[in-house]
Amino acid sequence: MRDFVLEFIRKIPSLVYPEGAQVQAALDSVRGVRKVCDLIEARAEDPHCPHCGATRIHKHGIRSRLQRYKCVSCRKTFNMLTGTPLARLRRKDLWLQNAECLLCSFVLRQIGSKLHIDKNTAFRWRHRFSSWLYEDTPPVLEGIIEADETYFRISQKGCRHIDRKPHKRGGDNSSPGLSKKQVCVLTACDRSQHSIEFITGLGPVKGKWLDLMLTNRIAPDAIMVTDGLKSYSHFCQKVHIQHVIVNNKLRNGGCYHIQHINACHSRIKGWINHHFRGVATKYLNHYLWWRHELENKHITSNIQLFQAVLC
């Protein structure tokens, strides 16, 4: 058997298409799996049982290329993937490539053709790879906080049954910010580059949403800078923080302005329009979170993204 393998390896350089390409793909696949397994095993620095939290565990063989452990307390077995969103997911050889596709904001069709997987598989993988987004709690905003809203047209993209007449190119945007046909997204950010984005429903932002989403996320000595919508004034009075109203068009200088938040809105809209040509309203929250995490966590490589999924 060993002689056969050595003979095969010697012949690899002389192989021509398609055999050469197939061998190359197989080797890449093995390398991909090894890299993924190394990253997963790197989590074993402080191993403990994911079922009961006990630290008294011992090694219990290897399965699916990963070290298996057995807990002395609860007698259950586990590996370093147990309890993560990727537990029991197949095709480890493609995980890093999938993370790369997500980082590049590829649409499902592109991911499917690049990884040679079904579009539905790509959808399920994207869900698994992005489930960590929702567990990450937003920070407390401090100092000068800019808050403003931006609007997205209601989109039924991908729906099989659309409950409206087809509209003309460009749509009905005649009353931006006030139309009930638009979804309001409120964004607040401080000068330490912490930000919070959330959907507040249709039409102008309502006070109850500010209470619900911002009350515990604003430092008591913060100063909120807005364009003067009444909901913000009421909110600031309620939580006893200073409220500064600025007229964005006047650019009256000083440190009180909402330029950062406007730039943030441009980046979000640019990203959504450039990569996805608009997204379905029911998935808008997901994309907001995704954008937030990539930007705030400074994730620039597929390995960083993969490690974030495992944490």
- Interface contacts to Zn ion, rule CB under 5 A: 49, 51-52, 54, 71, 73-74
Q: Which is nearer to Zn ion, 73 or 259 (CB)?
A: 73
Q: Which is nearer to Zn ion, 52 or 263 (CB)?
A: 52
User: How many Cβ atoms are within 10 Å of 297's Cβ, its own excluded?
Assistant: 12
Instruction: Answer yes or no: are the C-beta atoms of 134 and 198 closer than 8 Å.
Output: no
Closest distance to Zn ion from the beta carbon of 63 (Å): 18
Distance CA 112, CA 242 (A): 50
Closest distance to Zn ion from the beta carbon of 86 (Å): 20
Q: Which is nearer to Zn ion, 73 or 193 (CB)?
A: 73
Distance CA 294, CA 265 (A): 15
Closest distance to Zn ion from the beta carbon of 38 (Å): 25
Distance CA 235, CA 222 (A): 13
Residue with tokens 């139309």: 179
E strands, 154-192, are 182-190
Closest distance to Zn ion from the beta carbon of 50 (Å): 8
Q: Which is nearer to Zn ion, 73 or 175 (CB)?
A: 73
Q: Which is nearer to Zn ion, 56 or 165 (CB)?
A: 56
Q: Which is nearer to Zn ion, 29 or 77 (CB)?
A: 77
Instruction: Answer yes or no: are the C-beta atoms of 224 and 147 closer than 8 Å.
Output: yes
Closest distance to Zn ion from the beta carbon of 101 (Å): 36
User: How many Cβ atoms are within 10 Å of 88's Cβ, its own excluded?
Assistant: 8
Distance CA 202, CA 180 (A): 5
Closest distance to Zn ion from the beta carbon of 193 (Å): 40
Tokens of 26: 């197989």
